Amino acid sequence: MRTRTTAITATLLLATLVGCTTTAKPDGTAPPAPSTSTPKASTDDALKKAGIPPEPTGAKRAELLEAIRRVAPDAVRHEDKAIDAARNHCGSLDSPKADWLASQRFTYKDVTTDEAQGAGINGALKKSGFCNT
């Protein structure tokens, strides 16, 4: 009896799984893949609401890197990481732990940033107006 119940349950589960798969439409074509992309406008809006400015390019990028370089020279050794860290840090500038957070965000690979440099980075970001979205 136990074997028969197990076999029936397994058969029902298998039938359910097979019935749930969608491999083709009735006309024989494959179903469209679900869309995973997000429209750029909505992504930009979400970043702006989170206090994350757009990625700087050209002169603005150079100015931001130079402002950070003045207070924490090693922090810009990996420029793309420094830009990402600056963008992500903008939402934390008003935090009571902003200096510590900056020291953590601008520490990566072979670069260590201390809290004093973090304070300098916070000042540079505020002074440059980079975080004003």
pLDDT, tens digit, 9 for 90 and up, residues 17-70: 555 555 555 666 666 666 565 566 678 788 888 889 999 999 999 999 999 999
Residue 12 lies in a domain: no
pLDDT(127) > 70: yes
Q: Pick the more confident residue, 109 or 88.
A: 88
In the chain, the number of structural domains is 1
101 near 118, Cβ under 8 Å? yes
φ/ψ of residue 41, rounded to 5:
-60, -45
Q: What range does the domain containing 72 cover? A: 57-128
Looking up tokens 């076999």 gives: 7
pLDDT per residue over 1-12, tens digit each? 556 666 566 665
Cβ(102)–Cβ(70) under 8 Å?
A: no
pLDDT of residue 47: 83
> Is residue 45 included in any domain, yes or no?
no
Average pLDDT value for the chain: 83
- Name residue 66's beta-bridge partners: none
Q: Let me know if residue 33 belongs to a domain.
A: no
